[in-house]
């Protein structure tokens, strides 16, 4: 058992778990209806401006992170989550990656909600883009200031991941506010992780 736990310590368990959770929720929404039907997605917990602002359904800020409009939406998010998450998790550890993902995602949803609510816009939104752009922000920070987080990755590989993330953002039918706020929050959380846990990483460089 100890050997198994030690082995799991060096696996991207959180990234795989998040991917599985998103896939499971997508399958359930498809089995019970259609992930491209707005009313069905609303019933499953997609974020509607008036429901949050006027009805106080703040839980939608969280549940909408695991909902996706159609398979293409899901597949593009899972692809980038895998590319960024597996690399970052090896460098910063399971808990920190999970916190950056969730805080960036919920934070991006809060900012997006206030953006549309203040403009009196009724918008139904869902997707993990804010959370994934949070990981992208952390990756940018690592590429610039904490190379030890991403081990033996070459600068070219880091650039390729960032290009993939940017391509994902350009082609996502989601508010740019969610993307940019998630990116900013991820970068900020990475700074906090470095300040609070200076020099403490899940992996030793020699393991790469």
Q: What tens digit of pLDDT does each residue of 108-124 get?
A: 999 999 999 999 999 99
pLDDT score at 144: 76
Residue 14 sits in a domain whose CATH number is 1.20.1540.10
Which is more confident, 4 or 50?
50
- Cα–Cα distances in Å, from 109 out to 96, 117, 165? 20, 12, 19
* Spatial separation of the C-alpha atoms in residues 2 and 199, rounded to whole Å: 25
Q: Which residues are catalytic?
A: 129, 179
Structure confidence by residue, pLDDT tens digits, 158-184: 666 666 655 555 444 446 788 889 999
Q: Indicate whether 12 pLDDT > 70.
A: yes
Range of the domain at 184: 2-207
Q: Indicate whether 202 pLDDT > 50.
A: no
Q: Indicate whether 16 pLDDT > 50.
A: yes
Q: How many domains does the chain have?
A: 1
pLDDT score at 58: 97
Instruction: Please list the residues that pair with 125 across neighbouring strands.
Output: 47
Residue whose structure tokens are 């953006």: 115
pLDDT score at 173: 44
pLDDT score at 62: 97
Which is more confident, 166 or 34?
34
Residues 6+ away with beta carbon under 8 Å from 140: 162, 183, 187
């Amino acid at each position: 058992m100890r050997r198994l736990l030690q082995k799991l310590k060096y696996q991207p368990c959180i990234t795989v778990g998040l991917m599985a959770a998103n896939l499971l929720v997508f399958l359930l929404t498809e089995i019970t209806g259609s992930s491209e039907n707005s009313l069905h997605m609303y019933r499953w917990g997609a974020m509607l401006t008036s429901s949050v602002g006027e009805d106080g359904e703040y839980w939608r800020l969280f549940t909408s992170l695991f909902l996706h409009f159609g398979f293409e939406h899901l597949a593009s998010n899972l692809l980038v989550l895998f590319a960024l998450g597996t690399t970052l998790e090896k460098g910063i550890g399971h808990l920190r990656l999970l916190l950056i993902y969730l805080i960036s995602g919920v934070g991006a949803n809060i900012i997006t909600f206030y953006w549309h609510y203040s403009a009196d816009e009724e918008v139904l939104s869902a997707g993990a883009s804010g959370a994934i752009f949070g990981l992208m922000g952390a990756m940018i920070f690592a590429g610039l200031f904490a190379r030890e987080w991403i081990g033996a990755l070459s600068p070219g590989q880091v650039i390729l991941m960032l290009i993939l993330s940017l391509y994902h953002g350009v082609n996502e039918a989601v508010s740019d506010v969610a993307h940019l706020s998630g990116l900013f929050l991820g970068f900020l959380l990475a700074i906090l992780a470095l300040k609070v846990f200076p020099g403490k990483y899940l992996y030793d460089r020699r393991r790469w």
